[in-house]
Amino acid sequence: MQIFIDSADAKELAALAGSGLVDGVTTNPSLVAKAGGDFFETLKAICAAVPGPVSAEVVAQDAEGMIAEGRKLRQTAENIVVKLPLTPEGLKACKALTAEGCPTNVTLCFSAMQALLAAKAGATYISPFLGRLDDIGADGMELIREIRAIYDNYGFDTQILAASIRSGAHVRDAALAGADCATLPPAVFKSLYKHALTDSGLEAFLKDWKATGQSIL
């Protein structure tokens, strides 16, 4: 499963990319506003730091405006993916941009039928929001399983990008459900390394090695 980071903090993204484990980035208007600074300069810095796909979201509400914004976003860097809302106008824009060879990420997906429409519109990625579904008592992971089954039934190429991830358990379950990618807040990404037994085991190994008085180098 590919791992994306959900952030617009260029410095933090550059540091996380140094792990060699980050495959891409997703941003949204809220994250960009939180990061501050010039929007396009921030995008350029992110795209330079992470060679994989970087999703940048349009803010227009009509298809014509979305298409125009998408074209401009694509001029920022070769690895920009245009992020579009799952609305009738957003899917029109997705169809048009896809026809131009522009990669797209259709976001704010909350049902399998929405995901089916996005795939028919040619979306490169579909972003089902797991955490937000869980917040209202629905089963976000079941949505991943439903989309996986539908896409496999019909051979759709659209990749399932699990979003609104809240925990390492979400990452595990999304991988088990067949998501192609997951986009994680930086804190969740860092938590994937952690296990108490890893820490205690390493401490014991190092203590025993020190007692030998030897050196590898």
Question: Quick one: which of 98, 100, 143, 146 has its CA closest to 125?
Answer: 98
Do 146 and 112 contact (CB within 8 A), yes or no?
yes
Strand partners, 213: none
What's the rounded Cα separation, in Å, for the pair 162 and 139? 13
List, by residue number, the catalytic residues: 83
Name every residue whose Cβ is closer than 8 Å to that of residue 145 and which is 6 or more positions away in sequence.
Answer: 177, 178
Q: Which H or E element spans position 63?
A: helix 63-74
What's the rounded Cα separation, in Å, for the pair 103 and 115? 16
